[in-house]
Structure 1
Amino acid sequence: MLTTQGLQEAGTSYYRVGRSGTGRERPEIDALMPDPPIADDLSRDVYCVLGIPIDAIGMRGVLRRIRDAARQRTRLLISTPNLNFLVTSQSNRSFRDSLILSDLCTVDGMPVVWIARLIGIPIRTRTAGADIFDALKSDAGPATSLKLFLFGGPEGAAERAARTLNSQSAGLRCVGWSNPGYCSAEEMSGDHIIEEINASGADFLVASLSSQKGQSWLQRNHQRLEIPVRAHLGAALNFQAGTVRRAPVFMRRLGLEWLWRIKEEPYLWRRYWNDGAAILRLLFTRVLPFVASTWWMRRTHERGEALTITQDYGSREVTLSLSGPADARHVDRAIPVFRSAVAVRKRVRLDFSNVCAIDARFLGLLLMLRKQLESQGCSATFVGVSPQLARIFRFGGLDLQ
């Protein structure tokens, strides 16, 4: 039976194990040339943290993605998960889905960075929404400025932020703003509002609403909005408008920006208290058990063992049988196999009977595989999952159903 390891040694990129008319397996080599780089979700360096995707990407990579999307006029939905996002996603499925459906998820809050480090994710610092905004301001001169549309925020804040931006020689130029007032995501999705936003010809739409309303509004209008880059960047608009002062750099580096925010906006104390209590529970009931379980499974296989994947292309579904450690070291081996399976637009059945270890990076890849399949109306099912492996899936937040 063919494996990805054997075919890679033979110099092939993709292979397919289908079925002949007699029911016997037969290999079909799709291509012998190296794969061109493909900008899809499977290409992302993404990790699964309590069920949400976290991209291990620095500021330079984020800016490059934004400018490429603006230049090519391709959709790029950015989410910036902080502690509140992480906590809310555990009880609000639609909010969690809005993060999974995003094209890029950068870490906003230091508590999320600390959790990521504990899990073993190579993230050393956060890439907050306000930091992305500031970096774009200083990233280029007026000749290459990104055109910006500001949506939401307190009364008058968007206009003040626009005037401040346009008075500076910066990498951002505001071409419009709108404040729909206090209403639901449905009410602020009227045709006249969306038409006004689209007519601006902006490159980057920044929403400044509550986290749940902002994510919901962006998802609701994903196909209607014509501005290529969209993001809900939290309090970034307020910082630009000067209605809220941002914490000093040393407090941000120490993870104490929340204390400063309470000083600036006292009503936030209740949210931070509830989120703090919730993350402590998650730490002891999910995060630490995940770390312990993945560590224990790693000890059960030899260090030199490799992941192999066999493919069986049936008439109605694709079966991928994995054997060995499904971890960060072998993600590059799995990506082309998963991409081939997605390309045929069938159900995908993943057999984990012979998987001896798994980690947050591979769970992130599975999260992206499921996302791409569901966007095509297909599905991914996981079979042969041992009780120990099932615990890791549960602690990591990836549903088996």
Structure 2
Amino acid sequence: MSNKRIRILDVPVDMVNTGEAMDIFRELMKSPECSLIVTPNSEIIVNASQDPELKGIIEKADLIIPDGIGLVYASKIMGMPLRERVTGIDFLEQILRYLEETGQSIFFLGSKPGEGNSPSIAEAAAQKMKEKYPGLQIAGTHHGYFREPEESEIVERINGSGADFLCVALGSPKQEKFVFRHQEMLNVKGAIGVGGSLDVWAGTLKRAPEFYRNHGLEWLYRFIQQPSRYKRMAALPLFMIKVVISRIRGGK
């Protein structure tokens, strides 16, 4: 499948709106192989420009949605404007609706394990989404606190669940590298990295109110909630500075 792509800091991003991204997703779900969907924001683009492994993974992804208002601004500076931001968590909800309609199943992988009798974040998120989409088939869940030697066992568990699609919430770049490392062994038709989406669904992390989302200020809301993220927040101004310099130099 050939998607029209632009390059921001020499990292590819698909020029798609939400409807077009879903059209591509539906086609990917017809393939017997595991397709990789990545959801880069400004921070991930900066990291990819400095991490050849992550950049290589994004280059080979089947769908690269522009999850971040910074990418929309940057694309305008580059002279190839993206039509809209396609947020990862909203796109994933569209995927859940599609899976509910088709009767296909999903596996939730990531975030913290449960403590005592409390469910893990993945289990809590699965329960919330099951309540919201009663017909959704949850094939299984697993927390994200595992070591690399345990990964083959995790892959076997995912495959054994019969899941059609995999949601990976390990944070970037760990989630992208996990899927890419096991892509040929995974029996799912597709996988997406979704960062903190499971925490939002489980209710342990509040999503920014609509005002912040509509004005591209989700990063500010996250900073208010988690001041410890200040080093990560610095990625946004750094990203815009790099984009402007790249444009002045005539680069991508």
Q: Give the C-alpha shift of residue 194 in structure 1.
A: 1.0
Distance 1:168 1:283 in 2: 40
| Conservation of the 8 A alpha-carbon contact between 1:180 and 1:188 | no
SS at match of 1:215: helix
Find the counterpart in structure 2 of residue 104 from structure 1.
63
Mapped pair 1:165 → 2:129: yes
| Conservation of the 8 A alpha-carbon contact between 1:206 and 1:233 | yes
| Conservation of the 8 A alpha-carbon contact between 1:165 and 1:174 | no
**1:1-400 correspondence runs (5 A):** 39=1, 43-139=2-98, 142-155=100-113, 156-169=120-133, 172-183=136-147, 186-190=148-152, 192-273=153-234, 275-290=235-250, 395-396=251-252
Q: Give the C-alpha shift of residue 64 in structure 1.
A: 2.4
Deviating more after overlay: 281-290 vs 123-132: 281-290
Q: Give the C-alpha shift of residue 198 in structure 1.
A: 0.6
User: Partner amino acid for 2:91?
Assistant: I
| Conservation of the 8 A alpha-carbon contact between 1:136 and 1:171 | no
Which structure has more strand as a fraction of its residues? 1
Distance 1:73 1:138 in 2: 21
In structure 2, the CA distance between the partners of 1:226 and 1:138, relative to structure 1 (3 Å rule), is: closer
| Conservation of the 8 A alpha-carbon contact between 1:83 and 1:111 | yes
Which structure 2 residue ranges, 5 or more long, are not aligned?
Answer: 114-119
Percent of aligned positions with the same letter in both sequences? Answer: 27
Distance 1:137 1:286 in 2: 38
C-alpha RMSD over aligned residues: 1.9
Distance 1:121 1:145 in 2: 38
Q: Give the C-alpha shift of residue 66 in structure 1.
A: 2.3
SS at match of 1:211: coil
Q: Give the C-alpha shift of residue 266 in structure 1.
A: 2.7
Q: Give the C-alpha shift of residue 256 in structure 1.
A: 0.2
Distance 1:76 1:276 in 2: 29
| Conservation of the 8 A alpha-carbon contact between 2:17 and 2:83 | no
SS at match of 1:86: helix
Find the counterpart in structure 1 of residue 116 from structure 2.
none
User: Partner amino acid for 2:12?
Assistant: P
SS at match of 1:258: helix
SS at match of 1:167: helix
| Conservation of the 8 A alpha-carbon contact between 2:74 and 2:240 | no
| Conservation of the 8 A alpha-carbon contact between 2:34 and 2:189 | yes
Query: In terms of Rg, which structure is larger?
Result: 1
Distance 1:153 1:165 in 2: 16
In structure 2, the CA distance between the partners of 1:171 and 1:257, relative to structure 1 (3 Å rule), is: farther
TM-score w.r.t. the length of structure 1 is 0.58
Distance 1:164 1:288 in 2: 47
Aligned pairs, number? 246
